[in-house]
A and B are shown apart, each in its own frame.
Chain A
Amino acid sequence: MTDVSRPPASDSGLDFLAEVSARTAGVSRLEMCIQCGTCGGSCPSADAMDHTPRMLFAMIRAGMREEALRSNTPWMCVSCYHCVVRCPQAVHIADVMYTLKGMAEDAKSYRDKTPPHFARVFVGQVEAFGRSWELGLTARHYLRHYILRLPRMTPMAIGLFLRGRIGILPHRIRQRKQLHAILRRAEELERVS
């Protein structure tokens, strides 16, 4: 298998493809896509997408960086992996979607701020506490983006609380310093590569 983490020297279109592959966990196999459309046909949220995954992959290979990073397609991916197990070329489709989300965030290229904000708040809490904190995450998120959903969400939150399913305070792991050191080092490596 070719080492996709090494970008080719020329051709700006392939540069973008190589960059996406390099930032994807595992070997993306994105260059193996045969444009069959099995991914879009298997996708439960394709209706809500600007581009089907097949189109998006064609755009990546054509070097359409801005359009690809602005597409809402990665944000609408529900990570159900139907496309991944059906793809005849074994492209790591869901992982490529994660990559594109990260690249779009770095480039601040998205039309709807809701999904990246949610991810950022979640990640911020995990970095601070070492655990996710459902109450803090949803409260902050709903106040910021879904103020109109709050009247319906409040009884639900109270119901969950009364049933012992919501912790009021975040759970903190003991070795937070160790975790921070690990994450900081990883972040530095990510910026270099």
Chain B
Amino acid sequence: MSRYLYYPGCSMDGSGRAYGESLTGVCEQLGVTLAEIDDWNCCGATEYVGVSLSPAYALIARNLAIAAKSKQNGEPLVAACSACYLNLAKADHYMKERPLLNEHVNVALDAGGLHYDPGTVEVRHLLEVIMNDVGLDQVRAKVVKPLAGLRVAPYLGCMLPRPDPDNRWKNHERPDDLDRLLAALGADVVDFPLKTECCGGHMTQIAPKVGLELIKRLVDEAEHHGADMMVTVCPMCQINIDAYQGEMNAMFHTKSKMPIVFFTQLMGIAFGLDPKKMGIGRELTDARPALKKIGKVPVAVAAEAGPAHRPRPDKRALPMPRMAESDEAPVSEAPAGEAPAGEAPAGEARQ
């Protein structure tokens, strides 16, 4: 099955435009047809549900009702924004779980000549569709420009793996799907411990200190793991880490420059598509310097390939305690790559 209904969500032609552009190109390559549902409305993000229950769910269900009407052959409804995906999935799930909510929503929809029976539309996220329906083999087959040398931190954020109303994720806190996808593109994937931690969501708007602290935690950890960039599946995560990094730096007196791109942008680049058409350059924290690394030999591999013997201690240096000769001896004098250190003056060698 390669036809899907598509719910873009408001950010796809706004702040998350690079996501919309790149996923269109990538899905074309993978033979995935996305049919945008007609005249869809905002999902309400995390704001509407915090104001009034029935209107919030009626708002979401209008999209589900439109999707149900435009189904030809049981196609799932795909969203790429995590918040949109979760709202659509939650509405379907809670209308099943709570008959009173179902009743209210349908009485409201009726005022607009619509109706939605929960369970009619299967709601899915683009990443999960690519992993499970397309499959990594087909992704690998499309790669013409492996991302070798690019060190990426996969960052899923919260709302895709959690709360997971439809039980699609085996692991809610440390799923490895995005890791495997990026590895299939040839990237050097960091085992990113904060991969499903929060970016702060709307906190940058309502409690900046809380929001910026959460962003800093993620950026610091990505830097600590030597990532060239973070890779996300969510427009909210992207704009928080990308656009608010400047304010974060000002608040904490740091100088971080951690780019964050959408996974579909990297897929497009690996598939040989024009990076500009994949929305590269739309980010405020420039990802282009990091992308220049693609194709260069990864640093880690170069170090392993270097001379295996230990550097000889510098005779002019101060005497240092040394372990007995053994394979386990710590190599603290110099990195393995710089073997002929004997000639260098002690001062320089210690830098």
Contacts and interface: CB of A to CB of B under 8 A. Distances in A.
A11 interface: no
B17 A164 contact: yes
B221 interface: no
A153 B243 CA distance: 9
A23 B53 contact: yes
A190 B52 contact: yes
B210 A45 contact: yes
Interface string B1-33: 000000000110111110000000000000000
A46 B200 CA distance: 12
Contact of A130 (B41, B48, B172, B173): B41
Given A186-B104, A189-B54, A193-B104, A167 B14 contact: yes
A116 to B, nearest CB: 8
A26 B98 contact: yes
A126 B41 contact: yes
Interface stretch (B55-63, B306-314, B335-343): B55-63
Nearest to A146: B208
Nearest to A134: B14
B294 to A, nearest CB: 22
Contacts of A147: none
Given A25-B94, A146-B208, A152-B247, A82 B54 contact: no
Contact of A190 (B53, B109, B208, B210): B53
Interface stretch (A30-38, A50-58, A170-178): A170-178
Contacts of B246: 152, 156
B201 to A, nearest CB: 5
Interface string B49-80: 11111110111001000000000000000000
B243 A156 contact: yes
Given A5-B100, A80-B158, A120 B51 contact: yes
A190 B52 CA distance: 7
B15 A160 contact: yes
B52 A102 contact: yes
Q: Interface size bucket, A side?
A: 35 or more
A183 B206 contact: no
Most buried by B among A153, A186, A187: A186
A181 to B, nearest CB: 4
Nearest to A125: B42
A122 B247 contact: no
B153 interface: no
Most buried by A among B57, B105, B110, B284: B284
Contacts of A134: 10-11, 14-15
B207 interface: yes
Interface in B70-119: 90, 93-94, 97-98, 100-101, 104-105, 107-114
Given A159-B284, A160-B15, A182 B48 contact: no
B27 to A, nearest CB: 21
A115 B243 contact: no
Contact of A78 (B10, B45, B200): B200
B51 to A, nearest CB: 5
Contact of A186 (B15, B58, B114, B162): B58
Contacts of A89: none
Most buried by B among A120, A159, A163, A165: A165
Contacts of B114: 178, 182
Contacts of A114: 206-207
A105 interface: yes
A152 B164 CA distance: 37
Interface of B: 10-11, 13-17, 39-42, 44-55, 57-59, 62, 90, 93-94, 97-98, 100-101, 104-105, 107-114, 158-159, 162-164, 172-173, 197-198, 200-203, 205-210, 214, 243-244, 246-247, 250, 281-284
6 contacts: A98-B53, A131-B41, A159-B284, A174-B39, A187-B52, A190-B54
